[in-house]
């Protein structure tokens, strides 16, 4: 077990190294001159040159990369061009807000999605089932930023039930969390439903029915645990997409997390900040994936890893 976790941690480290290599390579392959872009169109050649030296952009590429890498190993992601402060500090400061939002989304999505999936599997073809199928289709077809804007318009501007945006108590949290959680719940509810229906005709389900269990008990006790496994697998593959949705929702609602920060950094040409966000995001996805796999092994004794 410890060996397995260690191997996975090594893989995360390799991923991070690969990502740093890729992003750094892209930076130098691109036609953009960072020093010029930062000093503005009207800056004089001398001041551009000065900035270039101050940022260390005049040194050879491999030297710059090695410096970056050795800083990275020590947990230093460089200094933001825009804020003139360490990227690591900015990320550390913004991360709690993102974690809070992500956790709320996860809890909401599970609390809504699992019952929805079970009900529509048992009452197949019923009102809830058909509504779920249609909602699920729309849910995966609507861009998260648009859904967020619609919720914002209806519940904040019109009905004035929630604040328009910003950070604060539960009232601020509800709309952004629902923006991601609702589509997610509908989509995973559908997956859960179809997985449960797939195993209805299997022996264990037939036995359960033969000994007289009610459909609800069969669904809840026998079909759901099995169906959850494949949902967990899907979750691992969807993590990157979920982070995208999270970032856009933070941006719309002015939720001060790492996603909003990364999008703003892109609009401000703050390259160290974006690179830091990419690396930090990779670390988050890698750790979440490891967690997903560990939970999977814990739930399913058949895949429990050795050593």
| CA dist list (Å): 88 to 83, 85, 91, 276 | 12, 9, 5, 8
Q: Decide whether 266 or 291 has the Cβ nearer to another protein.
A: 266
Write the interaction track for another protein spanning residues 140-179; mark x where CB under 8 A is met and - where it is not. Answer: xxxx-xx--xx--x---x----------------------
How would you class 268 by CB atoms within 10 Å of its CB: exposed for 0-12, middle for 13-18, buried for 19 or more? middle
121 touching another protein, by CB under 8 A: no
Token pair of 252 as six digits: 């719309």
Place of tokens 């029915």: 209
Among 31, 40, 169, 301, binds another protein (CB under 8 A): 31
7 touching another protein, by CB under 8 A: no
Q: Decide whether 18 or 126 has the Cβ nearer to another protein.
A: 18
Q: Decide whether 125 or 212 has the Cβ nearer to another protein.
A: 125
| CA dist list (Å): 231 to 30, 37, 146, 293 | 39, 45, 26, 12
Distance (Å, rounded) from C-alpha 49 to C-alpha 31?
A: 17
274 touching another protein, by CB under 8 A: yes
Among 183, 189, 257, 286, binds another protein (CB under 8 A): 286
Distance (Å, rounded) from C-alpha 5 to C-alpha 11?
A: 10
Segment interacting with another protein, rule: CB under 8 A, options 120-128, 174-182, 203-211, 259-267: 259-267
- Rg (alpha carbons) of the chain, rounded to whole number: 24
267 touching another protein, by CB under 8 A: yes
Among 1, 5, 13, 30, binds another protein (CB under 8 A): 30
Q: Decide whether 213 or 238 has the Cβ nearer to another protein.
A: 238
The DSSP-derived string for 16-63 is HHHHHHHHHHHHHHSS--HHHHHH-TT--HHHHHHHHHHTTTTS-HHH
List, in sequence order, every residue forming a beta bridge with 86; answer none if it has no partner: 79
CB of 184 to another protein, least distance (A): 15
Distance (Å, rounded) from C-alpha 224 to C-alpha 294?
A: 19
Distance (Å, rounded) from C-alpha 104 to C-alpha 10?
A: 30
CB of 33 to another protein, least distance (A): 11
CB of 239 to another protein, least distance (A): 8
99 touching another protein, by CB under 8 A: no
231 touching another protein, by CB under 8 A: no
Among 162, 231, 271, 293, binds another protein (CB under 8 A): 271
Q: Cβ distance 230 to 195 under 8 Å?
A: yes
Size of the site for another protein (CB under 8 A): 50
Distance (Å, rounded) from C-alpha 48 to C-alpha 82?
A: 16
Q: What is the torsional sign of CA 270, 273, 274, 275?
A: positive
CB of 146 to another protein, least distance (A): 4
Q: Decide whether 66 or 140 has the Cβ nearer to another protein.
A: 140
Given the rule CB under 8 A, which residues bind another protein? 15, 18-19, 22-23, 26-27, 30-32, 137-138, 140-143, 145-146, 149-150, 153, 157, 194, 197, 237, 239-241, 243-244, 247-248, 251, 262-263, 265-267, 269, 271, 274-275, 277-278, 281-282, 284-286, 289
């Amino acid at each position: 077990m410890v060996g397995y976790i260690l191997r996975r941690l090594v893989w995360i480290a390799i991923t991070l190294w690969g990502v740093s290599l890729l992003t750094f390579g892209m930076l130098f392959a691109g036609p953009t001159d960072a020093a010029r872009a930062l000093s503005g169109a009207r800056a004089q050649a001398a001041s551009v040159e000065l900035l270039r030296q101050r940022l260390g952009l005049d040194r050879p590429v491999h030297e710059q990369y090695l410096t970056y890498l050795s800083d990275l190993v020590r947990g230093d992601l460089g200094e933001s061009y825009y804020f003139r402060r360490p990227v690591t500090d900015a990320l550390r400061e913004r991360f709690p807000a993102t974690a809070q939002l992500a956790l709320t989304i996860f809890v909401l999505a599970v609390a809504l999605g699992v019952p929805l999936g079970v009900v529509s599997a048992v009452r197949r073809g019923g009102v809830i089932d058909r509504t779920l199928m249609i909602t699920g289709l729309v849910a995966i077809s609507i861009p998260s930023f648009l859904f967020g804007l619609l919720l914002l318009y209806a519940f904040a501007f019109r009905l004035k039930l929630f604040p328009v945006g910003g950070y604060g108590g539960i009232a601020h949290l509800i709309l952004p969390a629902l923006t991601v959680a609702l589509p997610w719940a509908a989509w995973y509810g559908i997956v859960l439903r179809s997985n449960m229906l797939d195993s209805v005709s299997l022996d264990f389900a037939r036995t359960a029915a033969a000994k007289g269990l009610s459909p609800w008990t069969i669904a809840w006790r026998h079909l759901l645990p099995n169906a959850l496994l494949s949902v967990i697998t899907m979750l691992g593959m969807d993590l990157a997409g979920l982070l995208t949705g999270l970032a856009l929702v933070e941006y719309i609602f002015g939720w001060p997390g790492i996603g909003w920060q990364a999008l703003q950094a892109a609009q401000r040409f703050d390259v160290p900040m974006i690179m830091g966000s990419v690396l930090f995001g990779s670390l988050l996805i890698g750790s979440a994936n490891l967690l997903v796999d560990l939970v999977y092994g814990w739930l399913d004794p058949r895949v429990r890893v050795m050593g």
